[in-house]
Every structure is written in C-alpha cells, then in structure tokens.
Amino acid sequence: MTHKVLVVEDEPALVDTLEYNLLKQGYEVVIAMDGAKALDMARRERPDVVVLDIMLPVMDGFEVCRILRQETNVPILMLTARTDEVDKIVGLEVGADDYLSKPFSMRELMARVKALLRRVRLAREEANEQAAEKRDAALRQETLVFGDLTIDLNRREVSCKGQAQHLKPKEFDLLVFLARNRGIVLSRDLVLERVWGWDYDGGSRTVDVHVRWLREKIEQDPSRPVRIVTVRGVGYRFEG
Ligand code: CA
C-alpha cells in the first residue's frame, strides 16, 4: 500500500529534495507551499503523514498544526529552523507528533516518517483488535436462561441441573426453537418444518422422540415434564 505524504514547505530547493527522496522511497507526495494551501491539501488529499515547516507564508506551521489536530489524527512531523520553535513545539502542545531541526539529513527524515506511519498502523491494529474483542463479548452474551437451564446460543452448549448436558445437534435446535417460542403452543408439523426443514421426510414421530430425549436432559422428572409440556392432540409448549 502506498502512503501519501503531504509536504508543507516554502523553500523550493528543500521541497525538491524532499519530493525526490520521498518518491524514491515509494511514497506518494503532495506539496503545499503556504499554510492555507496546506489545510486545503490536507482536507482534499487525506495524507497518511504531514511534514510541516513552521516558517510559512499566510499561516505559520503552528497554526496549521493546531487546526489540523482538531480535524484529524494524521501524524505531523514539524520542521524547525530555530531553537525557540522547538521550545514552542514541546511546551505549547501544538499537537505535533515529532519534530526535526534544520538542517537534517534525508536519512533521518525518512526514518522519522517511517516511524510515524508505523505508529499509526499499530494504533489502528490495536483499535481493530479491541473492536473485535468487544464484538465477541457481545456475542458471548447471547444466552437464554430459564431457572437452572442455560442455553448458550453461540457455543451451542446447554447446562441444566448444575451440569453441562450433551445435546445432539437436532436436540439443540429443537430446544432453541421451543425456548424462543416460550408459552406458545407449537404443532408437531410446525416444529418439524422449522427444525428439520421442508425436505425432511421422516414423520412427526421424530419430534416426539427428540422431545423425550430432551426431557431426559432438562427436566427434573422426565416422566412429569414442566419445561416441555405436551399439549394433547396438538404438540408442545415450552414453559421455561
Ligand atoms: Ca520555511
């Protein structure tokens, strides 16, 4: 991926040198030669890093830096010609990420630019990781709880009577379907269609058999079920 560097400098010779060396390193380069143009360019070109001189026409580098900082997190490397400028960068917290005193070697400038880009990349990766962790945590919370019965939808795990119950895939799907329709009478045909699908060619006895297996696992007394209740002549109702 090519990174774009905005060079803000009003000395043509230095602009040429910077451009030449940045291009040679494989960067894309955009140039602004005064402070106002620098803001325009930054907004339009969305550079990955800004190399910003302080002594500039129209608006100085401090002002440009201060405004840019309010608008974006783009890393800013300031170029200073005087010691009192360094004091100002460090002391006034203009928001620059790094600075380099003139005269500097191109090798040094390239190293600083590279370091800034690396810092941004790491920060971005960290932010992505945190977002992913947050998402996972939210998913993990997708759990149905009915008294001592817990159904973890993402891990497809069920615990009851204080211990993990090993459900076959269809038993799990059936339990989730029943639980999500708690309190509603569900016909065998509907259950069959929703849990086993249209193309299933077994009879509705399949539902009865799976309900019996489920009861063994989630009822205190499977012969007198209170969670999955039989509705005579129709089907079942989940009571929770
Ligand atoms: Ca200058």
Of 100, 134, 168, the domain-final residue: 134
Both 117 and 201 in a single domain? no
Give the number of domains in the chain. Answer: 2
Asked whether residue 66 falls in the same domain as residue 104, the answer is yes
Q: What is the CATH number of the domain that holds 216?
A: 1.10.10.10
Q: Are residues 106 and 8 in the same domain?
A: yes
Average pLDDT, the chain: 91
Considering 79, 108, 134, which residue would you say is the last residue of a domain?
Answer: 134
Provide the domain limits for residue 176: 143-238
CA separation for the pair 224, 232 (Å, rounded): 14
Beta strands 76-80 and 98-101, pairing class: parallel
For the chain, give me the number of helices (H) and strands (E)? 8, 12
**Which residues does 138 contact at the CB level (< 8 Å), separation at least 6?**
none
Lowest mean pLDDT among 15-29, 86-100, 138-152, 217-231: 86-100
pLDDT digits (tens, 9 = 90+) for 93-116: 788 999 999 999 999 999 999 999
Could you tell me the distance, in angstroms and rounded to a whole number, from the CA of residue 9 to the centre of ligand 1? 6
pTM of the model: 0.58
Cα 71 to ligand 1 centre (Å):
23
The last residue of a domain, from among 134, 156, 178: 134
- Average confidence (pLDDT) over 208-217: 95
pLDDT band at 88 (very low <50, low <70, confident <90, very high): confident
Report every protein residue that has its C-beta within 5 angstroms of ion ligand 1.
Answer: 10, 53, 55
92 has pLDDT over 70: no
The reply to whether 22 and 51 lie within a common domain is yes
Residues 14 and 126 in one domain: yes
With cut-offs at 50, 70 and 90, classify the pLDDT of residue 151: very high
CA of 87 to the centre of ligand 1 (A): 17
User: b/e for 34-62, b at 16 or more Cβ within 10 A?
Assistant: bbebbbebbeeeebbbbbbbbebeebbbb
At residue 158, the pLDDT reads 95
Are 17 and 117 contained in the same domain?
yes
